[in-house]
């Protein structure tokens, strides 16, 4: 019987293949008693920790040299967790209390995971996952259990796992054609990695126990569906669907060198969202217009110290230099809420999404902002850099950020360092207050970029990470559209630019409305660039203004969806399924 599973698509694609169900190492009994000398056991533990740490640091450096920042940081952060004195001290204490070395690791790890989970913060929950991951590595080392190694897979496979550790996925070779996970969310590290590696992935399926090792499965990471228990006929149909998808991708690939424009000739700039320097070559290959959003907070994550000015400068400069004339919009650190950074001890807050985060931290701890601004301004001397402040909610806040910018410039002049005096400055429109006061804000900056992910969350008062209010969280809600229209109007009146860089920009239903509202710049993740270019070419801008006007006047997101669906030809939708 065909079994259907649904989850969250975090990296698009369609694939039929053999499932490899990754069995995790059995849980180590935390009650196992130590046989032998505790002193020797403690020495064995510290020795193994040291060797494993050396290896992980080496792997991290290898990835850093290859410009693979996410992978490098993950290994570095896990190495820091491994050698953390509180962690190793707790293992030692357990050994001295009479438990075996692996049991002591399991006990210490479980205690710390509990502490992290009790804080009820999604990012700390991810840290608990990392700790579990690194503890298992250590236990494997101690017990001689072989690592789950995906680097020498000989056959094409779709990985099926309850909760695959990122450090295992990182090593996967190109035989891995897909990933299905019971756990995970859009923001989990493993999801970010899968998208970075271009592996179609559906996570958060709830239970993958029904998929058997060696079974053929159809992973549709466009719709977020997985079929297993397929008949020959189903396999044939699924393969046809994959083939069609491949043909679509081949056709899309021919758009790499083209300039995206609507049928009536309006040029729409398509930029990319990045988290590190590793995608720079691909941006050029895909013919994107540059970087519309550099989420620099990833440079602050998983480390105990802040990235210094020179470290940041080297990263921003390398992107700006390679992209030459294409613009690179550097968003200042957007840490907080779901994005924790170990170097900033933010503590627990009742409502972190409404709390001390992003620009709020930066104008309080101005040395952090100044360092970053100095690095970005200096990078501007080698390319086309723009700077953007996130989460702006009030004009005072913007003015404080701008005064730190002036300070950074004064300091660079004093230090005699080359930088771009005329670096364009923008803000993200992510709060309803910023959208409402858009006309005032635009007088003080050069551009806006609409962060629809947060704008939707704050307009509808619905946590973007909370599945229970997902029914409410919808960027097509007319209230959100109204705020976007207001923002776009404020900019169009004064010859400045407005882009959209949230997930909404790659939603085929939202795209025609945005263009109809006068948006001419959008920024999406790299895998969506070509499809978005294609869709733009199928749109007629004159018809879209009317469509956008109608959409804003509707009552619900569902009505907006129906309107757009019925207003565009099948040819448009054929590209989206
Ligand atoms: C947004 O809020 O839409 C956005 C692009 O920022 P982030 O998703 O990083 O919060
Ligand atoms: Mg945001």
Closest ligand to C-alpha of residue 475 is 1
Beta-carbon contacts of 378 under 8 Å, excluding residues fewer than 6 positions away, are 309, 313, 316, 317, 412, 417, 418, 419
Are 504 and 524 contacting, i.e. CB atoms less than 8 angstroms apart?
no
Q: Whole-angstrom Cα distance, residue 79 to residue 50?
A: 10
Indicate which CATH number applies to the domain containing 53.
1.10.274.10
What average pLDDT score do residues 541-569 get?
Answer: 96
User: Is 293 among the domain residues?
Assistant: yes
39 or 198, higher pLDDT: 39
The three-point CA angle 478-481-482 to 5° equals 85
- Ligand 1 centroid, distance to 428 Cα (angstroms): 9
User: Is 241 among the domain residues?
Assistant: no
Question: pLDDT tens-digit profile of 208-222?
Answer: 988 988 999 999 998
| Pair (123, 154) in one structural domain | no
- In which domain, by residue range, is 16 found? 3-23+149-229
Give residue 29's pLDDT.
81
The answer to whether residue 160 scores a pLDDT higher than 80 is yes
DSSP-assigned letter for residue 350: S
Q: Whole-angstrom Cα distance, residue 477 to residue 468?
A: 17
- Within 10 Å of residue 40's Cβ, how many Cβ atoms? 12
Give residue 194's pLDDT.
85
Q: Which of 18-32, 145-159, 242-256, 344-358 has the highest mean pLDDT?
A: 242-256
In the block, residue with structure tokens 């996570």: 203
Give residue 63's pLDDT.
79
Give residue 121's pLDDT.
72
In the block, residue with structure tokens 């099926």: 160
Query: End-to-end CA distance of the chain, in Å?
Result: 25
Which stretch of 47-61, 292-306, 357-371 has the lowest confidence by average pLDDT? 292-306
- Choose among 114, 113, 107, 115: nearest CA to 89: 107
Beta-carbon contacts of 246 under 8 Å, excluding residues fewer than 6 positions away, are none
| Pair (566, 491) in one structural domain | yes
Give residue 145's pLDDT.
64
The confidence band for 132, taking pLDDT boundaries of 50, 70 and 90, is confident
| Pair (68, 170) in one structural domain | no
358 dihedral zone (left: phi>0; alpha: psi -120 to 50; beta)? left
What average pLDDT score do residues 167-186 get?
Answer: 84
Give residue 185's pLDDT.
66
| Pair (136, 47) in one structural domain | yes
- Ligand 2 centroid, distance to 450 Cα (angstroms): 9
The answer to whether residue 186 scores a pLDDT higher than 70 is no
Q: Quick one: tokens of 308?
A: 């210094």
| Pair (417, 475) in one structural domain | yes
Question: pLDDT tens-digit profile of 450-466?
Answer: 999 999 999 999 988 67
User: At which of 119, 143, 167 does a domain end?
Assistant: 143
User: At which of 107, 125, 143 does a domain end?
Assistant: 143
- Within 10 Å of residue 48's Cβ, how many Cβ atoms? 17
Closest ligand to C-alpha of residue 453 is 1
- Within 10 Å of residue 384's Cβ, how many Cβ atoms? 18
| Element holding 452 (H helix, E strand) | helix 452-459
The confidence band for 343, taking pLDDT boundaries of 50, 70 and 90, is confident
| Pair (287, 383) in one structural domain | yes
Indicate which CATH number applies to the domain containing 307.
3.20.20.60
Q: Which of 205, 242, 362, 501 is catalytic?
A: 501
The three-point CA angle 273-278-284 to 5° equals 70
2 or 434, higher pLDDT: 434
Whether 234 sits among the annotated catalytic residues: the reply is no
| Pair (485, 404) in one structural domain | yes
The confidence band for 146, taking pLDDT boundaries of 50, 70 and 90, is low
The confidence band for 402, taking pLDDT boundaries of 50, 70 and 90, is very high
Whether 189 sits among the annotated catalytic residues: the reply is yes
Q: Whole-angstrom Cα distance, residue 61 to residue 212?
A: 37
Are 134 and 82 contacting, i.e. CB atoms less than 8 angstroms apart?
yes
Give residue 188's pLDDT.
62
The confidence band for 442, taking pLDDT boundaries of 50, 70 and 90, is very high
Q: At what angle do helices 541-552 and 478-492 cross, to 10 degrees?
A: 130
Give residue 344's pLDDT.
81
The confidence band for 102, taking pLDDT boundaries of 50, 70 and 90, is very high
The answer to whether residue 417 scores a pLDDT higher than 60 is yes
Strand partners, 339: 336
The answer to whether residue 88 scores a pLDDT higher than 90 is yes
The confidence band for 69, taking pLDDT boundaries of 50, 70 and 90, is confident
| Element holding 20 (H helix, E strand) | strand 14-21
User: Is 257 among the domain residues?
Assistant: no
Atom of ligand 1 nearest to the CA of 457: 2
User: Is 192 among the domain residues?
Assistant: yes
| Complete DSSP assignment for 198-240 | T--EEE--S--TTSPTT-EEEEETTTTEEEES--HHHHHHHHH
Torsion of CA 555, 556, 560, 563, to 10 degrees: -60
- Ligand 1 centroid, distance to 42 Cα (angstroms): 46
28 or 283, higher pLDDT: 283
What average pLDDT score do residues 316-320 get?
Answer: 97
The answer, yes or no, to whether any atom of ligand 1 lies below 6 A from the CB of 451, is: yes
What average pLDDT score do residues 30-35 get?
Answer: 90
Average model confidence (pLDDT) for the chain? 90
| Pair (347, 472) in one structural domain | yes
339 or 38, higher pLDDT: 38
| Complete DSSP assignment for 282-309 | HHHHTT--EEEEEEGGGGTTT-SS---H
Number of domains forming the structure of the chain:
3
User: At which of 123, 143, 163 does a domain end?
Assistant: 143
**Distances in Å between the alpha carbon of 490 and those of 90, 447, 454, 487, 523?**
58, 11, 20, 5, 20
Q: Whole-angstrom Cα distance, residue 180 to residue 565?
A: 30
User: Is 553 among the domain residues?
Assistant: yes
Give residue 26's pLDDT.
64
* C-alpha radius of gyration, the chain, whole number: 25
| Pair (290, 434) in one structural domain | yes
Which stretch of 71-75, 99-103, 132-136 has the lowest confidence by average pLDDT? 71-75
The three-point CA angle 101-106-111 to 5° equals 125
Give residue 7's pLDDT.
84
Give residue 24's pLDDT.
66
Give the mutation target among 339, 453, 505 for probing the ligand 1 site: most ligand atoms within 8 A of CB: 453
| Pair (450, 558) in one structural domain | yes
Which stretch of 132-136, 425-429, 512-516 has the lowest confidence by average pLDDT? 132-136
Atom of ligand 1 nearest to the CA of 502: 3
Atom of ligand 1 nearest to the CA of 454: 2
The confidence band for 27, taking pLDDT boundaries of 50, 70 and 90, is low
Torsion angles phi and psi, residue 491, rounded to 5: -80, -45
Give residue 328's pLDDT.
98
The answer, yes or no, to whether any atom of ligand 1 lies below 6 A from the CB of 567, is: no
User: Is 472 among the domain residues?
Assistant: yes
**139-165: b (≥16 Cβ within 10 Å) or e:** bbbbeeeeebebeebeeebbbbbbbbb
**465-490: b (≥16 Cβ within 10 Å) or e:** beeeeeeebbbbbbebbbbbbbbbeb
Question: pLDDT tens-digit profile of 481-497?
Answer: 999 999 999 998 788 99
Strand partners, 161: 181
- Ligand 2 centroid, distance to 430 Cα (angstroms): 6
The answer, yes or no, to whether any atom of ligand 1 lies below 6 A from the CB of 292, is: no
């Amino acid at each position: 019987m065909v079994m259907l599973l649904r989850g969250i698509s975090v990296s698009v694609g369609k694939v039929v293949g053999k499932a490899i169900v990754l069995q995790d190492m059995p849980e180590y009994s935390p009650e196992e008693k130590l046989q032998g000398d505790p002193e020797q056991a403690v020495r064995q533990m510290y020795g193994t920790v040291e060797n494993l740490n050396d290896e992980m640091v080496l792997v991290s450096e290898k990835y850093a040299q290859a410009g693979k920042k996410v992978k490098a940081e993950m290994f570095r952060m896990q190495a820091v967790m491994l050698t953390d004195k509180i962690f190793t001290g707790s293992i030692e204490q357990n050994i001295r209390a009479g438990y075996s070395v692996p049991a002591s690791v399991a006990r210490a790890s479980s205690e710390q995971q509990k502490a992290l989970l009790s804080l009820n913060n999604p990012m700390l929950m991810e840290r608990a996952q990392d700790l579990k991951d690194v503890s298992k590595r250590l236990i494997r080392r101690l017990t001689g259990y072989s690592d789950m190694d995906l680097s020498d897979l000989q056959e094409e496979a779709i990985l099926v796992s309850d909760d695959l550790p990122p450090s295992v996925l990182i090593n996967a070779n190109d035989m891995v054609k897909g990933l299905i996970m019971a756990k995970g969310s859009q923001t989990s590290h493993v999801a970010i990695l899968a998208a970075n590696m271009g592996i179609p992935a559906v996570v958060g399926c709830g239970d993958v126990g029904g998929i058997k090792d060696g079974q053929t499965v159809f992973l549709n990471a466009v719709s977020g569906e997985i079929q297993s228990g397929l008949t020959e006929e189903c396999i044939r149909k699924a393969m046809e669907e994959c083939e069609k998808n491949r043909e679509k991708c081949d056709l899309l690939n021919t758009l790499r060198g083209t300039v995206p424009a609507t049928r009536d000739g309006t040029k729409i700039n398509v930029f990319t969202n990045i988290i590190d320097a590793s995608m720079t070559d691909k941006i050029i290959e895909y013919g994107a217009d540059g970087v519309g959003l550099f989420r620099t907070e990833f440079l602050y994550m998983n480390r105990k110290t802040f990235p210094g000015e020179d470290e940041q400068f080297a990263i921003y400069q390398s992107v700006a230099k390679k992209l030459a004339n294409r613009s690179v919009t550097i968003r200042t650190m957007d840490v907080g809420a779901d994005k924790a950074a170990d170097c900033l001890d933010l503590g627990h807050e009742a409502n972190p999404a409404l709390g001390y985060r992003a620009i709020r931290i930066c104008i309080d701890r101005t040395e952090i902002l100044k360092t970053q601004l100095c690095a970005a301004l200096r990078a501007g001397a080698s390319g086309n850099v723009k700077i953007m402040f996130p989460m702006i909610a009030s004009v005072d806040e913007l003015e404080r950020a701008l005064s730190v910018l002036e300070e950074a410039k004064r300091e660079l002049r004093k230090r005699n360092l080359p930088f771009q005096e005329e670096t364009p400055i923008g803000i993200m429109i992510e709060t309803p207050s910023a959208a409402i006061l858009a006309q005032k804000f635009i007088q003080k900056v050069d551009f806006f970029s609409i962060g629809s992910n947060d704008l939707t969350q704050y307009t509808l008062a619905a946590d973007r990470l909370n599945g229970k209010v997902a029914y409410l969280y919808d960027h097509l809600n007319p209230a959100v559209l109204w705020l976007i229209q207001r923002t776009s109007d404020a900019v169009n009146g004064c010859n400045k630019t407005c882009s959209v860089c949230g997930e909404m920009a790659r939603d085929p239903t939202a795209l025609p409305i945005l263009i109809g509202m006068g948006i001419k710049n959008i920024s999406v993740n790299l895998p969506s660039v070509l499809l978005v270019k294609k869709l733009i070419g199928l749109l007629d801008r004159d018809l879209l203004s009317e469509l956008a006007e109608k959409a804003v006047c509707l009552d619900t997101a569902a009505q907006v969806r129906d309107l757009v669906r019925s207003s565009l030809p099948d040819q448009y939708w054929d590209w989206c399924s």
